[in-house]
Chains A and B, each alone.
Chain A
Amino acid sequence: MHPILTPIRRLGIYLLAWIPVAALLGYLFVDVNRIPGAEAAILAPLLCLIFAFDCLSAWYSCKVTPIETSGYVRLLSTHLLGAGIMSALWVVIGRGIAHLLAYSPSFPSAIVDYNRAASLIFVAGLLLYLLAVGLFYKLLAMQQAQSLEQRLNEAKVLARDAELRALKTQINPHFLFNSLHSISALTSIDPSRARDMCVALADFLRLTLGMGEKTVIPLEEELALLRKYLAVEKIRFGSRLDMKESIDAESLACTVPPLLLQPLIENAVAHGIANLPEGGWIQLDIHRNGSEDWLQISVANNYDPDSPPRRRSGVGLVNVRSRMEARYGSKATFAVHKVDDRFEVKMGIPAETVVNA
């Protein structure tokens, strides 16, 4: 919308600014064109009121000719042409007013007087129009700055929201409660192990909290987080948890979205190990395919197909998948294979090494 017309208060201020212009124009009419004072006192304010609205049209030509991207030729030609047309229009309208004034017996020479002043009015029109152009460019710049700031703020809020949501869904509260319960058991059985578990849990939480701010982290950091998580679960499940890893050394420097692997391992623990009284295994394979520069990740575990269904099942998987899509789009692959008692999640992502968080 036009920034001067709405809100109405702005229009008032704009019109007030035209009062000194009207006074100056009236003075020039009397002094330069020797127009009688009373006639100038009617003509000048009327003309200014009309031109005040004429000038508002400059806003639209300013908008379609952005100052940053349009060339000098285009800027000058657009606005000089606009100024010429608007001033000429003004002169014509003014002549109409002069004709009307001439009907009054008090201003018998109105038309002749006006014709004397026409060139002055035209030049004044050119200048005033160009002044308005300058004003509108200034307003446009202010508006842009404002909306940019607003967009930045909105983006910040959205990012924060996403981070909180991610954390809430990533850290399973039951993992926390069960771990605390294990610590409570250990305090009397084996105090030093209780302390170890406290420390492992704290390390895991600290690493997780720091990760929400980053868009990608080196795989090495994700693996560090994973080891803290497993240290906690290892105390909970003891020998029931058998973790096997096969990770290429050259994949360690690749970047991945934070908390990409941890939910998958947690899934394997909750749906695999936790349902197997004799324990189970988790196999993590990460390979970097050199020729295509591709990172192939596989998390496999055994599980009991006859185990009772658990709540929350699938939440972790859906989450990981949607975050991969958000980051890599169609470049990433994600597949789940269930064969007999083996559950496997296979992912492929482009091997990126630069951290551009």
Chain B
Amino acid sequence: MTSDKKWTAVIVDDEELARAVLHEMLSHHPEIEIIAECANGFEAVKSITERKPDLLFLDIQMPKLDGFEVLELIGTDMAIIFATAYDQYALRAFEVHAADYLLKPYGADRFEAALARAKERKGAKAPEPAELRASATAPGHYADRIVVRDGTNVHIIPTAKLDYIEAQDDYIALTSRGSKVLKQQTISSVESLLDPKQFLRTHRSYIVNLDRVAKVEPYGKDSKVAILHDGTKLPVSRAGYARLREVLEGKS
């Protein structure tokens, strides 16, 4: 980025007054242009994918999507400054490579420091967005929904509604009630997000919601197939079958 070109910034916060604080503090920085202000997660995903800002000010607890879900959908190819009243997300924020974490209320000094860090940070290599979620999830806490972006639209899939997940090259297909949604993520990283009591890796390419499994039958010589309540047949590997038996026997 050349120094004479303006930086573009997007502000995401559901409270008007909180946006006003950022507005005012940025007014002392003519080199930064605010190109959008968003009051919820959906708007944020839409305007960030369309306008690709250099700098993002992001609240965490918001309507529709929280700040981390927004990041998961748009990637972190920009400098991110979190601004929130909650201190318990600080660790997660740095795990998603945020430039800084502002605790509300903050003063001008703290804001300037955050901005300076963000400018240093711009251009640094960002990790894959979907992998961020896995590294930023606290152990013992599992996702209760999965967010998927389709252009500027966002799908929210509660994990309880998932039937199974299938790996397809660089994508995973999330299947619920016969309809499939594709997401760019590895099957291993999505596996680590899901509650192992409910979801099981039954095959190199499949994760199954245990509640949906009707029965497991032999298939061919020494392989097995899982049959779901809706009749879908999914291959089960030898290791997958061992895991499945362990879980099912542990339950009964």
> Interface residues, chain A, CB within 8 Å of chain B?
173-174, 177-178, 180-186, 188-189, 235-238, 274-277, 304, 306-311
Q: In the assembly, what is the distance between CA of A235 and CA of B15, in Å?
A: 10
Q: Is B105 an interface residue (CB 8 A)?
A: yes
Q: Is the CB of B63 within 8 A of A274?
A: yes
Q: Is the CB of B14 within 8 A of A174?
A: no
Q: Is B156 an interface residue (CB 8 A)?
A: yes
B67 (CB) vs chain A CBs: closest residue: A308
B21 (CB) vs chain A CBs: closest residue: A185
For chain B, what secondary structure do more than half of its interface residues adopt (helix, strand, loop), or is it mixed? loop
A184 (CB) vs chain B CBs: closest residue: B105
* Chain A hits for B17, CB < 8 A: 181-182, 185-186, 189, 235-236
* Chain A hits for B104, CB < 8 A: 177-178, 180-181
Interface residues of B in 179-204 (CB under 8 A from A): none
The contact sample of 24 A-B pairs, CB cut-off 8 A, is: A177-B85, A177-B103, A178-B18, A178-B104, A181-B17, A181-B18, A181-B85, A181-B105, A181-B106, A182-B17, A185-B18, A185-B20, A188-B24, A189-B24, A238-B16, A276-B63, A277-B43, A306-B64, A306-B156, A307-B63, A308-B41, A308-B62, A308-B64, A308-B69
Q: In the assembly, what is the distance between CA of A308 and CA of B41, in Å?
A: 10
Given contacts A177-B105, A238-B16, A274-B63, 7 further A-B contacts (CB under 8 A): A177-B103, A178-B85, A181-B17, A236-B15, A236-B17, A308-B69, A309-B144
A239 (CB) vs chain B CBs: closest residue: B16
* Chain B hits for A180, CB < 8 A: 104-105
A178 (CB) vs chain B CBs: closest residue: B85
Contact with A along B60-71 (1 / 0, CB 8 A): 011111100100
Q: In the assembly, what is the distance between CA of A309 and CA of B16, in Å?
A: 22
* Chain B hits for A185, CB < 8 A: 17-18, 20-21, 24
Q: Is the CB of A307 within 8 A of B64?
A: yes
> Interface residues, chain B, CB within 8 Å of chain A?
14-18, 20-21, 24, 39-41, 43, 61-66, 69, 85-86, 88, 103-107, 144-145, 156
For chain A, what secondary structure do more than half of its interface residues adopt (helix, strand, loop), or is it mixed? helix
* Chain B hits for A306, CB < 8 A: 64, 156
* Chain B hits for A186, CB < 8 A: 17
Q: Is the CB of B105 within 8 A of A189?
A: no
**In whole Å, how far is B136's beta carbon from the nearest beta carbon of chain A?**
14
Q: In the assembly, what is the distance between CA of A307 and CA of B64, in Å?
A: 5
**In whole Å, how far is B15's beta carbon from the nearest beta carbon of chain A?**
6
Q: Which 4 pairs, one residue from A and one from B, show the smallest C-beta to C-beta distance?
A: A177-B85, A181-B104, A185-B17, A181-B105
Most chain A beta-carbon contacts within 10 A, residue among B15, B24, B62, B145 = B15
Q: In the assembly, what is the distance between CA of A184 and CA of B41, in Å?
A: 24
Tell me which of A237, A304, A307, A310 contacts B15 (CB under 8 A).
Answer: A237
Q: Is the CB of B85 within 8 A of A277?
A: no
* Chain B hits for A274, CB < 8 A: 14, 61, 63
A237 (CB) vs chain B CBs: closest residue: B15
Q: In the assembly, what is the distance between CA of A173 and CA of B85, in Å?
A: 9
Q: In the assembly, what is the distance between CA of A293 and CA of B14, in Å?
A: 43
A189 (CB) vs chain B CBs: closest residue: B20
Q: Is the CB of A275 within 8 A of B105?
A: no
Q: In the assembly, what is the distance between CA of A173 and CA of B105, in Å?
A: 12
Most chain B beta-carbon contacts within 10 A, residue among A181, A235, A306, A310 = A181
Q: In the assembly, what is the distance between CA of A237 and CA of B39, in Å?
A: 12
